[in-house]
Amino acid sequence: MSGIKRAVQCTQDNARKRSKLKKLSPTPHGRQLNEAKQVKTQAVRKPFDSDTQSLSPKNSQSGAPGEEVQHQNGGTFIDGSNRPLIAPLKAASPGMRGQAMSNDINIKQKLLARQRKLAKPNSDLIVRTKKIWERLRLKSHVTREEREQLVTELYSIITGRVNEFVFKHDAVRVIQTALKYGTAKQRKAIAVELKGTYRELAESKYGKFLLAKLVVHGNSEIRNMIIPEFYGNVGKLMRHPEASWILDDIYRITATSLQRNMLLREWYGPEFALFKTDAAAQLTAQLSQILEETPEKRNPIMQHLFGSINQFIQKKTTGFTMLHDAMLQYFLNAKPGSAEATEFMELLKGDEDGSLVKNLAFTKSGSRLMCLVLAYSNAKDRKSFLRIYRGMISMLVEDVHARTIILVAYEVIDDTKLTAKLIFPELFGESLPEAERRDYLLRRVNDVSHRIPLLYLFGGEKLSWLLGSVDEEILEEVCRIRSWTSKKDPTVRRNELINAASLPMLHFIASTAESLVATSSGCRCITEVLFSAHGDKKPALKAVAATVRSKPGKHGYAKCWTHVKGFSTRTKSVCCGRVGGS
Judge whether 560 lies within some domain: yes
Residue 178 neighbours by CB under 8 Å, 6+ apart:
151, 154, 155, 158, 186, 190
**Pairwise CA distance, residues 364 & 582, whole Å:** 46
**Pairwise CA distance, residues 342 & 373, whole Å:** 11
Judge whether 567 lies within some domain: yes
Q: Nearest to residue 189, comparing CAs of 225, 164, 153? A: 225
pLDDT beyond 60 at 522: yes
Tell me the pLDDT tens digit for each residue of 364-408: 999 999 999 999 999 999 999 999 999 999 999 999 999 999 999
- Number of domains the chain is built from: 1
Domain with 561 in it: 512-575
Judge whether 396 lies within some domain: no
- Poorest-pLDDT segment among 117-121, 159-163, 366-370, 575-579: 575-579
Please give the C-alpha separations between residue 419 and each of 251, 447, 458, 500, 560, in angstroms, as whole numbers.
36, 24, 16, 10, 35
Judge whether 548 lies within some domain: yes
For residue 93, give the DSSP letter.
Answer: P
**8 A C-beta contact, residue 407 and residue 475:** yes
Q: Nearest to residue 530, comparing CAs of 518, 519, 543? A: 543
- Residues found in the chain: 582
**8 A C-beta contact, residue 498 and residue 451:** no
Q: Is 39 exposed, middle or buried (0-12, 13-18, 19+ CB in 10 A)?
A: exposed
Please give the C-alpha separations between residue 455 and each of 408, 424, 488, in angstroms, as whole numbers.
14, 12, 22
DSSP states of 139-181: GGGS-HHHHHHHHHHHHHHHTT-HHHHTTSTTTHHHHHHHHHH
Judge whether 570 lies within some domain: yes
325 vs 76, more confident? 325
Judge whether 546 lies within some domain: yes
* Per-residue model confidence (pLDDT) at position 166: 84
Tell me the pLDDT tens digit for each residue of 67-93: 444 444 444 444 445 555 445 545 556
Tell me the pLDDT tens digit for each residue of 415-424: 999 999 999 9
Q: Nearest to residue 501, comparing CAs of 453, 571, 446? A: 453
* Per-residue model confidence (pLDDT) at position 461: 78
**Pairwise CA distance, residues 255 & 267, whole Å:** 17
Judge whether 535 lies within some domain: yes
**Pairwise CA distance, residues 454 & 398, whole Å:** 12
Q: Nearest to residue 360, comparing CAs of 400, 393, 327? A: 327
Q: Cβ of 465: how many Cβ atoms within 10 Å?
A: 11
* Per-residue model confidence (pLDDT) at position 312: 95
**8 A C-beta contact, residue 59 and residue 82:** yes
44 has which bridge partners?
none
Judge whether 408 lies within some domain: no
Q: Cβ of 527: how many Cβ atoms within 10 Å?
A: 23
Tell me the pLDDT tens digit for each residue of 18-56: 554 444 445 544 555 455 445 444 444 444 444 444 434
